[in-house]
Structure 1
Amino acid sequence: MLSLSIKEDLQQACRHYAEQRLATARQAMDHAQEAANEEGKSSAGDKYETGRAMAQIERDKAAQQAHEAQKLLQIINQLNPALHHDKVAAGSVVVTTAHTFYLAVGIGKLLVSGTEFLVLAPASPLGKSLLGLAVNDAFTFNNQRYTILQIL
């Protein structure tokens, strides 16, 4: 059985993941801006305009990724790891017969303190299946049956 302190470790791992995504996106934005600036120095005519437009598209894509990472951080920072849940809710750690889940944001698999967690958003299909369930409740998702053993 897991202890309540695992939630702090999970929240920190999720925060680290989101911060890395944000840093990568910002770096990509800077790189795209530098590429656009360089294009202006070395080209002329239609080729110049095409190069600048391509760099702007890349910068916009990176800006969108940065925005998504910011939203992840905001959600993660709103979770209170000290809360214990009797029923599955956002911020819950759910131990089942097949997997251990953390309902926070849609990240996927994370290895924390030697345990593999599936980190998923409460609004995801599997997250929606879990919400409101209690210990010993069973549910089926993608033809796999789960029984909840523990909720933190």
Structure 2
Amino acid sequence: MLDKSIVLKALQIEVNSRVHALEKALDDSRSEMVSESKSTAGDKHETGRAMAQLEQEKLGRQVLSARELKMAIAQIDANEDHTKIQFGSLVKATNGVFFFSVGIGKLIVENESIFCLTMTSPLGNFLREKSAGDSIQFNGKTISIEEVS
């Protein structure tokens, strides 16, 4: 299994990239709205301006959400080994490798698929406080926990 510090670093890079892309999209949207407001007037312009404002609000919420992911990830200590599954655990199971951190889905790290899930996800709830050697039934399948770190 990959080292947790490598997985955590890859997750930080991914989330930072998302934050940067969303912030750029928000800045671009603001710039576009300013330049558009200088050149147009009338009802058509007001509709366009309202739609641009809605888009900015949506992007603003997405930026805030991405920053919250970043703050949550900052709480993880890659050097802390876990014996039971909890927030910050890297888990190798019979059906894949899971990093219980933030819910961004699949992350490819050194050609290996790592599924980043929250502890409040359905699988996270089933695996909470389980240890290596434990098995659970999930969606009609048996999942055995091989390693927890």
TM-score normalized by the length of structure 1: 0.93
Shift of 1:86: 0.9
Does structure 1 residue 125 correspond to structure 2 residue 117?
no
Q: Which amino acid aligns with 2:49?
A: R
- The answer (yes or no) to whether the contact 1:86–1:151 under 8 Å persists in 2 is yes
Shift of 1:59: 0.9
Q: d(CA) in 1 for partners of 2:110 and 2:24?
A: 30
Q: d(CA) in 2 for partners of 1:49 and 1:97?
A: 56
Q: d(CA) in 1 for partners of 2:10 and 2:55?
A: 28
Q: Which amino acid aligns with 2:30?
A: Q
In structure 2, runs of 5+ residues without a counterpart are none
Q: 2:69 aligns with which of 69, 72, 88?
A: 72
% same residue: 34
Q: Which amino acid aligns with 2:140?
A: N
Shift of 1:147: 0.6
Q: 2:97 aligns with which of 95, 100, 122?
A: 100
Q: d(CA) in 2 for partners of 1:75 and 1:15?
A: 10
Q: d(CA) in 2 for partners of 1:56 and 1:15?
A: 30
SS in structure 2 opposite 1:105? coil
Matches within 5 A, 1:20-99: 20-99=17-96
Q: d(CA) in 2 for partners of 1:43 and 1:7?
A: 54
SS in structure 2 opposite 1:79? coil
In structure 1, runs of 5+ residues without a counterpart are none
- The two structures, once aligned, show a CA RMSD in angstroms of 1.2
